Amino acid sequence: MKNAFAIGLMLLLLGASAIAQTTAAAKSDKRAGTISGRLTDTSGQPLPHALVYVTGASSLRRETRNTSTDEQGRFRVTDLARGVYNVWPGVPGYVTVEGETARRTYRAGDTANFTLTKGGVITGTVTTPTNEPLTGCGVQAIRVRDKDGHAVTISRSSGFASTDDRGVYRIYGLLSGTYVVFASGKRAYMNEASIYENDMPTYYPSSTRDTTQPISVQAGEEASGIDIRYRGERGHAISGKLAGVPADINMGVSLELYNVASRAMEAQGFAGNNFPGSSIADGYAFYGVADGDYLVTATTNSFNSSFRGSGRAYVKVRGADVTGIDLPLTAYGSIAGTLLIEPVRSAEGQNKCEIKRRLMPDEMLVAVRPEKQAAEFHPYATGVRNDAPSDKGEFAFTGLEAGQYRVLPAMLGEDYFVRSMTLPAPAKNQPPVDAARSPLTIKAGERLGELTVTVAEGAAALRGRVVPATEGARLPDRLRVHLVPAEKEAAGDVLRYGEARVAADGAFTFQNLAPGRYLIIARPSADDDTSDEAPPPVAWNAAARATLLKQAAAANLTLDLQPCQRLTDYALKYTPPAPLPVRKKNP
Amino acid sequence: MHALARTLLLMVVTLSFTVSAPSQSVAPQSREVNATGTIAGRVTVAGKPAANIPVAVMPDPQRTLQERYVGNSTTDADGHFQITHVPAGRFYVMAVAPVFYNEADGNNYPGGSAVTLADGETVGDLQIVLRRGGVITGRVTEETGRPLIQEHIYLYRVNPQGGRHEPFNRNYTIMQTDDRGVYRIYGLPPGRYLVSAGVPVNRGFAGMGRGNSYYPQTFYPGITDEAKASEVEVTEGSEATNIDIALGHAEKAYTVILHIVTADGSKPVAGVRCGYGSVDAGGRFMGATSIGPESNADGQCRMEGIVPGKYMAIVAMINPPGAWSGDGPPAPARLQAPDNYTYDPTPFEVTDSDVNDVEVKLRAGSSVSGTVVIEGMSEQEAATHFRELNLNVIVGAPVNVPRFNRPQINADGSFRIGGLGAGRARISASSFPRRNFRLLRVEREGADLSAGFDLAAGENLTGLRLIVGVGTGVIRGEVKVADGALPEGFHAFVTARRVGDGAPQNGFAQVDARGRFMLEDLLPGEYELTIAGWRSAKPVTKTVSVTNDNEAQVTIVLNQ
């Protein structure tokens, strides 16, 4: 996922690697949009009669328009309102060739083609300690590394299968990567009694999580003979109450158990008032838990509940049951605001600026990204969520846990850049508060409702190549190009900073840049680059920003970008900058 | 799991979109460590002792919603098992060995052997007789030979008497194809089966959101006409291979748009969930329903992937009125208290095109309200039990509209149930986790409305008094045969009817292999017990007197 990165161009956060394939001009008819495309496999063969999910990306218009492909693998959804849609092929057993980074959001009018490939397969047997086949045993494969060997930040259960009468299981449709495989005996449905309920999971080949042998599998390939000897050792229970919720309200709570070491979700459960005789007051319990560090999370279901919120607790299991782990539920907060589009300022545009495709606010996206909590593992601390604004630009994110968030406009097309993000001035005669410089802090239940995101026409782009200062020299790994505002008064404007990863051949790309004067510098990234998650931009950290500014000023390479300018073939000579203090990555 | 709980849970799963693979029961249960009963016995497979077979004791699902086993054990080399620390009560004992079938299970739910255990009692000779089930395996492809992945297999057991073939279900994970199109269904009792893939349109299917094409149901070896399908013979331990099915042309499924409007048709209603259920020729629900999207700001619900057939539109008023929640349309189009609304069932039919003219009018429903009183209990004590009670109002209508909200009883006993239709209404109540509460009478201003009452459109009937009784009586019984021991494979059940009670039945229990049975949670009164289900005997009845907090003993002698 580490391709072009420029603040304001947050497409990478949305898993998109390309600029919108927009062809049609914005239509005035609000109901005339079509999204069409084709599903093919890697040999170019069509995938017929396959489900394609098409859902409105706006929280105000979650219109579902799922469809199927025809004999030629084509699909076409017509009569769509203008706006952004999530489009995703639902072909069992298949994955997109780009894996999780495949683009998922499209505008009405776009073409959405997907190339799919058979997912990877892990297969083997599960036998009892007496070497008999174990039937009806659940086996899970959890992805721990992606195809590039980066640690997967959050590993939800990646694949599940039950053993048959011969003890054979077959998990399919897996993304390329490295998996840990375990048999747990627990059944695939909710609340079904299992005689294995108290058993700890047995990891491949017959071990605990710490000593398991990970399995690497590529899409289209099969890892066979992954045979597990089931141990059936008794695990421990984690139990407690749900606190902070009125007991008489009709609601349910979903519970998840995460292994902190592997970040894998090991079990899920449910507690609720939704059926007679069951009550939130009864609390929750997980059984068959091995020694280790765990996180238990509780989130309310949206089903019929007037209270929505979540809670979590960190639990150490050391050789005994753990009771009294109460989960205090706190109400969700929200962030809402308006996305405004500003025309080219006459001074900048000078009538030379040609806008390739004008976009309306509902044709863009706003994303919200939790600021990572350094100290503790939390599965929701990495998820990026999107909302497509309404035609008036209104957007909203509900269901936010208390914490810090960055708001990131996206799907800006070629012609737009983020001018500003502001909150209302705290008092009269004061300027609005710059909401881009630091993350927004949301307290439990807080509703932040007046964020203004201003996107402007006339974005510039820069494409170029880093070349070694001395011919034949090698460029360092993990090189990044940074753009830094050259105007002194803009030094604190985080939106004016840009950051792009340099490809192996030295190429780099910036898009959605504000016109203006920049300092440009290439330098190695301080990040260890072992996680699948893109590191936060350097400019988000005030100290790192100041260092970058100093180094860029010392290098003293400037360039001017005019509104709508597309600067290409820019050659940037690389000379190692003065040493930087090493920025530690979050553990 | 109790059927109601399962339905509700499925609904929760459907509505909250939290279907996921690994999960476990989370209701913590205090293990009854002081329990001193023991259940022991022997497992045989094809007449020989079977080692390493897990055996589990499950609470009677008639009694409780508990989803954990009471205890379990594994057989030794001689096939013996022993499960200790079992409390007194009614249980099912079963081998957890899905490759086998137990002839004695027949079609009984939940399967296994019924055991009625007294406090500290030991049952030492339970025989579990297993046989290896058959396997049916094959591959499902589409016309071009491409495997169909995650395709559900519908299996039907051929009815030897003729008539309709009954669907035969197993855990869904074994009823679907893998990435090679291969399926493998095991543990099948001997018999003849029809194997099919594709959508069983003629059997009340109500799927949704699967795109706009589907494969019609095709039976092995590739026939859409059920009457011409080939039967697959399964015998003990047999394996029927290459039961391959090639699905024919994909057919088109259609989109149905429901328009949800206010009673006068003037305003759209946003934020209610829409769904549909399949109906038979007589307009009755066939059981399968599907709840889908929320109505949008224009009051429209778009339901996709509906296969041709006859249906009834369903509206589930399950979302709280939105203050600004951001995940639904802004307030004006939403109803302020959706559960107070009702609608007339609206039929529609899908033939060969999308349907866009189904209008569902929501109108203010009738309501009933009043107070619940638990006989012989203080108000304080009653308040702690109201959540165990589930009230239901059935208003006579040509088609019953499923309700999704559970009416709440407040701590002072007051209740209000809105959103009702008009017609002959009847209130009923059930209790969970135990069935010890019974609705005795429904009164209003001294009049007895227990048998039902008329509810006019829009009427708000207040001042109802629901009198609930508490039953803690127990009947513990033994069935004997006049001359000697119970025959091998004795199988019977007992039903109890309270004399003078309007209900068709007030208790039900399996009689275990030793002839023991237990009926619990009985209201005081005279009970008429009927033993039935034993093939060689006519039903035998006996009258027993029950008081609260007491156990009545009864012996029933069957004549050979």
B404 contact residues in A (CB cutoff 8 A): 304
Give per-residue burial for A371-399: e unless 16+ CB within 10 Å, then b.
bbeeeebbbbbbebbbbbbbbebbbbbbb
Contact A272 B171 (CB under 8 A): no
Q: Between the CA of residue A369 and those of A83, A295, A555, B53, B269, what are the distances in Å?
A: 22, 21, 32, 51, 34
Q: What is the pLDDT of residue B42?
A: 95
**Which of chain B's residues have a Cβ under 8 Å away from the Cβ of A390?**
none
Structure tokens at B546: 């029950």
Q: What is d(CA B290, CA B282) in angstroms, rounded to the nearest whole number?
A: 20
B526-544 pLDDT tens trace: 999 998 877 666 778 889 9
CA–CA dist A369, A371 (Å, integer): 6
Q: Letter for the amino acid at A138?
A: G
Tokens of B410: 């407040």
| Residue of A66, A116, A259 to mutate, interface with B, max B Cβ within 10 Å | A66
If one compares B493 and A459, the residue with the highest pLDDT of the two is A459
Q: What secondary structure does DSSP assign to B291-352, as a single string? A: EEEEP-TTSEEEEEEEPSEEEEEEEE--SPPPSS-SSS--GGGB-SSGGGEEE--EEEEESS
Secondary structure (DSSP) of A335-367: EEEEEEEEPPPHHHHTTT---SS---GGGSEEE
- Are A170 and B20 an interchain contact pair (Cβ–Cβ within 8 Å)? no
CA B474 – CA B548 distance, rounded (Å): 8
The DSSP string of B506-522 is SEEEEE-TTSEEEEEEE
Interface test with chain A among B12, B13, B23, by most A beta carbons within 10 Å: B23
Number of cross-chain residue pairs from A and B with Cβ atoms under 8 Å apart = 253
For residue B305, pLDDT beyond 90: no
Distance from CA of B23 to the nearest CA of A (A): 4
By mean pLDDT, which of A261-275, B168-182, B304-318 is the weakest? Answer: A261-275
From A318's Cα to the closest Cα of chain B, the distance in A is 20
Nearest partner of A2 among A587, A499, A584, judged by Cα: A499
3-state secondary structure A317-331: ECCCCECCCCEECEE
- For residues B358 and B258, is the Cβ–Cβ distance under 8 A? yes
Nearest CA to A297 out of A247, A259, A335 is that of: A259
In this complex, the residue of A191, A277, A305 whose CB is nearest that of residue B432 is: A277
Q: Quick one: which of B124, B118, B114 has its CA closest to B492?
A: B114
Q: What is the helix (H) or strand (E) element at residue B487, kind and residue range?
A: none
Q: How far is A8 from chain B (nearest CA, A)?
A: 24
Closest by Cα among A141, A170, A93 to B150: A93
Nearest-5° angle of CA B190, CA B191, CA B196? 115
For chain A, what's the residue count? 587
Neighbours of B249 (CB within 10 A): 12
Are the CB atoms for B191 and B157 separated by under 8 Å? yes
Which of the 8 DSSP states describes residue A108? T
* Tokens read off for B210: 């699967």
Q: Which two tokens stand for residue B176?
A: 């679907």
pLDDT in tens, B384-396: 888 888 898 888 7
Residue B321 has pLDDT above 60, yes or no: no
Q: Cα-flanking dihedrals φ and ψ of residue A542, to 5°? A: -60, -45
Of A134, A114, A3, the residue nearest A52 (C-alpha): A114
d(CA B322, CA B330): 7
Shortest Cα distance, chain A CAs vs residue B433, angstroms = 5
Would you say A502 and A479 are in contact if contact means Cβ atoms under 8 Å apart?
A: yes
pLDDT score, position A190: 45
Residue tagged 């008023």 (tokens): B317
The 10s digit of each residue's pLDDT in A143-171 is 988 888 888 877 666 788 999 999 999 99
Residue ranges with strand state E in A92-167: 94-96, 105-107, 114-118, 120-127, 138-145, 157-162
Which phi and psi angles does B90 have, rounded to 5°?
A: -105, 130
Structure tokens at B216: 């019609």
> Are A92 and B388 in contact (CB < 8 Å)?
no
Q: Do B406 and A287 touch (CB under 8 A)?
A: no
Cα–Cα nearest to A309, from A318, A301, A320:
A301
B149 to chain A: closest CA residue: A92
Average pLDDT, chain B: 82
- Report the chain B residue with the minimal C-alpha distance to residue A120: B179
In angstroms, rounded to a whole number, what is the distance separating the alpha carbons of residues A73 and A48? Answer: 4
In the block, tokens 């892990």 appear at: A122
Q: What is the pLDDT of residue B275?
A: 87
CB B433 within 8 A of CB B355: no
Q: b vs e for B355-375, b when ≥16 Cβ sit within 10 Å of the residue's Cβ?
A: beebebbbbbbbbbebebbbe
- Cα gap A497→A512, rounded to integer Å: 11
Both tokens of A228, joined, read 């597990």
Identify the CA nearest to B469 among candidates B512, B447, B437, B495. B437
Residue B286 host element (H or E): strand B285-294
Sort out which chain B residues have CB atoms less than 8 A from A163's CB and list them: none
DSSP type of residue B87: P
Share of chain B above pLDDT 70, in %: 84
Bridge partners (DSSP) listed for residue B102: B130
Q: What is the pLDDT of residues B200-234, one digit of tens each?
A: 877 767 676 678 889 999 999 999 998 899 999 99
Task: Say whether pLDDT at B296 is over 60.
Answer: yes
Tokens of B281: 């020729």
- Give residue-wise pLDDT tens across range B229-278: 999 999 999 999 999 999 988 899 999 999 999 988 888 988 888 888 88
Interface contact flag, A64 B302, Cβ < 8 Å: yes
For B144, the 3-state DSSP assignment is coil
Task: Using alpha carbons, select from B433, B455, B438, B461 the residue that is nearest to residue B372.
Answer: B438
Q: Which two tokens stand for residue B418?
A: 């809105």
Instruction: Please report which confidence band the pLDDT of residue B3 belongs to, taking 50, 70 and 90 as the band edges.
Output: very low
Neighbours of A221 (CB within 10 A): 15
CB contact under 8 A, B211 and A52: yes
- Tokens 């137990």 -> residue: B102
pLDDT category of residue B110 using cuts at 50, 70 and 90: low
The mean per-residue pLDDT over the stretch B105-127 comes to: 79
Instruction: Residue B544: name the closest of B522, B559, B560 by CA.
Output: B522
Task: Say if residue B118's pLDDT is above 50.
Answer: yes
Q: How far is B212 from chain A (nearest CA, A)?
A: 5
With a cut of 50, which residues of chain A have pLDDT below it?
1-29, 188-190, 276-277, 585-587
Q: How far A173 CA lies from chain B's nearest CA (Å)?
A: 8
For residue A274, the model assigns a pLDDT of 52
Give me the pLDDT at residue B322, please.
Answer: 39
- Contact call for A170 and B178, based on CB within 8 A: yes
Q: Which residue of chain B is at minimal alpha-carbon distance from A128?
A: B52
Mean pLDDT confidence for B111-138:
91
Compute CA distances A100 → A96, A504, B19, whole Å: 8, 22, 20
**What is the chain B residue with the closest CA to A189?**
B23
CB B537 within 8 A of CB B491: no
Specify the pTM.
0.86
Structure tokens at A166: 């011969």
pLDDT of amino acid B7: 34
Q: Which element (helix H / strand E) includes A452?
A: strand A447-457
In this structure, the dihedral spanned by the alpha carbons of residues A107, A108, A109 and A110, taken in order and rounded to 10 degrees, is 40
pLDDT at B18: 25
CA distance B487 to chain A (A): 32
| Residues A398, B327: C-beta atoms closer than 8 Å | yes
For residue B235, the model assigns a pLDDT of: 95
Alpha-carbon gap, residue A170 to A184, rounded angstroms? 15
Query: What's the rounded mean pLDDT across residues B272-286?
Result: 81
User: Model confidence at B501, in pLDDT bands (50, 70, 90)?
Assistant: confident
Chain A residues whose CB is inside 8 A of the B324 CB are 336, 396, 447
Phi then psi dihedrals of residue A71, to 5 deg: -60, -30
Q: Is A37 exposed, middle or buried, given 0-12, 13-18 or 19+ CB atoms closer than 10 A?
A: buried
| C-alpha dist (Å) from residue A263 to A143, A182, A270, B23 | 10, 15, 20, 17
Mutation choice for A interface testing from B25, B64, B304, B325 by most A CBs within 10 A = B25
The DSSP line for A39-78 is EEETTS-B-TT-EEEEEE-BTTB--B--EE--TTSEEEEE
d(CA A289, CA A268) in angstroms, rounded, equals 12
Return the closest-CA partner of residue B288 out of B307, B308, B311, B259: B311
